[in-house]
């Protein structure tokens, strides 16, 4: 009788597969990109980073550190996923920039097309404004604080909203409300204003930048900047803006994303946020939250963890309202960073869908 072949089943195979699935499920797109960067040589990785903007460099650098302990199986899976993605790519996108530019110019005219292209294609934006992305908030504030509020508003509008909020904090208190008012009122920037901005930056813009109107700012941009400010500064600016233009202040407020809006985030997003927030900070923030918000977070905890969390929150005792609001603001800043990285989708508020 022929001997029957047998394959020994690894008793840990299912457990290992489950562990790998969990490891991959918890990885963000930025972390996957970080794995690929670590697999490249130093020179190739450096060449890629040269094409990233400051925010992307920071996010990628942090992720490269965070994936240091990733298992070899997860690294292999990410690489396989990347290779599969590359195989699915076509040459459809090659050489399309000129095509898109011609179509937009034909459909919208030169001026409007230039404004759109400045937002969607690299190389069409202002080189002078790009330099701002690499400057710290205090340096930008020092450079612009003596300029006309309209020029300051333009500059804040093109910065990352978190950086713009920090710059606002370094500007004179008496000018902040007017600056935010002007940010919210911006729609297009005319050539004369762009020329003034050129003089401040002491850098040449790209070929057409001084002859085209550019779209900046608006109520949503002002709201995003205010989302990133500290509670005390927000109250001061909004109070001053209310005196200048109550209707505009209300529009900005309607577009701001508040802690209560987190009820519109799905459970997966809430879990991602909770993993990125210290429990003590979460307890402080929930102290002053309504029951719906509290339940949104508590409902995403296990029964045992929920009980311990509530006991610890009770033990903290009474807290000042300003401390609670600052904790909520901090969590909202974390939530926006996670949203920008694609790790969760914010819901609620006029600016989110």
pLDDT in tens, 275-322: 999 999 999 999 888 889 899 999 999 989 989 998 998 888 888 888
pLDDT at position 297 is: 92
Percent of the chain at pLDDT above 90? 7
Q: Is residue 55 part of a domain?
A: yes
pLDDT, mean of residues 146-155: 83
Same domain, 147 and 97: no
In the numeric block, the tokens 């003089």 are attached to 199
pLDDT at 73 over 60: yes
Same domain, 133 and 183: yes
Domain boundary pick from 69, 88, 107:
88
CA dihedral 152, 134, 37, 65 (to 10 degrees): -90
pLDDT at position 211 is: 36
CA dihedral 340, 255, 284, 62 (to 10 degrees): 10
Q: Are 344 and 338 in contact (CB under 8 A)?
A: yes
Give the structural domain span for 193.
128-255
Considering only residues 280 and 81, tell me which one the structure prediction assigns the higher pLDDT: 280
pLDDT at position 274 is: 92
pLDDT, mean of residues 249-274: 84
DSSP 3-state percent helix, strand, coil across the chain (nearest 5): 70, 0, 30
How does DSSP assign 167-183, residue by residue?
HHHHS-HHHHHHHHHHH
Domain boundary pick from 197, 227, 255:
255
Same domain, 80 and 101: no
Angstrom distance (rounded) from CA 27 to CA 211: 45
Same domain, 205 and 240: yes
Q: Are 89 and 62 in contact (CB under 8 A)?
A: no
Buried b (16+ CB within 10 A) or exposed e, 148-169: ebbbbbbbbbbbbbbbbbbbbb
pLDDT per residue as tens digits for the range 233-247:
777 888 888 888 888
Same domain, 279 and 236: no
pLDDT at position 70 is: 79
Q: Are 259 and 293 in contact (CB under 8 A)?
A: yes
Q: Is residue 326 part of a domain?
A: yes
Run of H or E including 143: helix 137-144
Angstrom distance (rounded) from CA 235 to CA 222: 14
Q: Are 256 and 282 in contact (CB under 8 A)?
A: no
Q: Which one-letter DSSP state was computed for residue 229? A: S
- Residue partners of 225: CB distance under 8 A and separation at least 6: 156, 161, 164, 165, 168, 180, 183
Same domain, 157 and 233: yes
Considering only residues 125 and 239, tell me which one the structure prediction assigns the higher pLDDT: 239
Percent of the chain at pLDDT above 70? 71
Angstrom distance (rounded) from CA 183 to CA 279: 36
pLDDT at 4 over 60: no
- Alpha-carbon distance values, 97 to 100, 208, 269, 322 (Å): 5, 16, 35, 50
Give the largest CA-CA distance in the chain.
97
Tokens encoding 215: 């779209």
Considering only residues 192 and 28, tell me which one the structure prediction assigns the higher pLDDT: 28
Q: Is residue 178 part of a domain?
A: yes
CA dihedral 182, 187, 193, 194 (to 10 degrees): 130
Run of H or E including 108: helix 96-108
CATH code of the domain covering residue 269: 1.10.220.30
- Alpha-carbon distance values, 221 to 1, 156, 259, 278, 337 (Å): 80, 9, 19, 29, 16
Q: Is residue 11 part of a domain?
A: no
pLDDT per residue as tens digits for the range 15-57:
778 888 888 888 888 888 888 888 776 777 777 777 777 777 7
Angstrom distance (rounded) from CA 270 to CA 348: 14
Same domain, 298 and 241: no
Q: Is residue 288 part of a domain?
A: yes
Same domain, 251 and 263: no
pLDDT at 218 over 70: yes
Mean of the per-residue pLDDT values of the chain: 75
Domain boundary pick from 217, 237, 255:
255
Task: Report how many domains make up the chain.
Answer: 4
Q: Is residue 108 part of a domain?
A: yes
pLDDT per residue as tens digits for the range 330-345:
888 888 778 777 788 7
Angstrom distance (rounded) from CA 110 to CA 125: 15
Same domain, 33 and 101: no
Among 113, 86, 112, residue whose Cα is nearest residue 98: 113
pLDDT, mean of residues 172-176: 88
Same domain, 143 and 66: no
Q: Is residue 4 part of a domain?
A: no
Considering only residues 172 and 59, tell me which one the structure prediction assigns the higher pLDDT: 172
pLDDT at 209 over 50: no
Q: Is residue 7 part of a domain?
A: no
Sign for the CA dihedral angle at 344, 292, 226, 163 comes to negative
Same domain, 136 and 202: yes
pLDDT, mean of residues 104-122: 59
pLDDT at 249 over 50: yes
Highest mean pLDDT among 84-88, 119-123, 219-223, 294-298: 294-298
Q: Are 340 and 276 in contact (CB under 8 A)?
A: no
pLDDT at position 26 is: 81
Same domain, 198 and 101: no
């Amino acid at each position: 009788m022929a001997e029957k072949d047998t394959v020994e089943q690894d008793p840990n195979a299912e457990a290992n597969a489950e562990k790998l699935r969990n490891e991959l499920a918890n990885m963000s797109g930025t972390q996957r990109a970080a794995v690929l960067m670590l697999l490249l040589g130093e020179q190739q990785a450096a060449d890629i980073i040269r094409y990233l903007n400051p925010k992307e460099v920071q996010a990628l650098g942090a992720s490269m550190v965070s994936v240091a302990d990733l298992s070899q199986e997860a690294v292999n899976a990410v690489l396989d996923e990347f290779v599969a993605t590359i195989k699915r790519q076509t040459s459809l996108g090659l050489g399309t920039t000129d095509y898109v530019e011609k179509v937009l110019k034909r459909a919208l005219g030169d001026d409007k097309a230039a404004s759109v292209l400045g937002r969607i294609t690299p190389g069409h934006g202002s080189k002078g404004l790009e330099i701002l992305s690499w400057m710290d908030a205090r340096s930008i504030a020092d450079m612009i604080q003596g300029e006309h509020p309209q020029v300051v508003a333009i500059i804040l509008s093109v910065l990352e909203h978190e950086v713009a909020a920090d710059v606002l904090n370094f500007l004179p208190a008496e000018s902040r409300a007017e600056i935010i008012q002007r940010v919210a009122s911006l729609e297009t920037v005319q050539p004369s204003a762009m020329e003034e901005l050129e003089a401040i930056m002491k850098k040449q813009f790209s070929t057409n930048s001084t002859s085209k109107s550019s779209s900046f700012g608006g109520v949503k941009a002002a709201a995003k900047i205010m989302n990133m400010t500290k509670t005390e500064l927000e109250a001061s600016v909004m109070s001053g803006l209310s005196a200048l233009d109550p209707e505009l202040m209300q529009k900005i407020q309607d577009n701001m994303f508040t802690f209560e809006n987190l009820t519109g985030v799905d459970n997966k997003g809430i879990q991602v946020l909770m993993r990125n927030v210290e429990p003590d900070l979460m307890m402080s923030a929930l102290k002053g939250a309504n029951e719906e918000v509290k339940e949104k977070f508590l409902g995403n905890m296990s029964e045992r963890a929920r009980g311990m969390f509530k006991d610890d929150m009770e033990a903290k005792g009474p807290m000042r309202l300003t401390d609670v609001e600052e904790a909520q603001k901090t969590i909202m800043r974390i939530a926006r960073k996670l949203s920008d990285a694609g790790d969760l989708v914010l819901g609620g508020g006029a600016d989110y869908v």
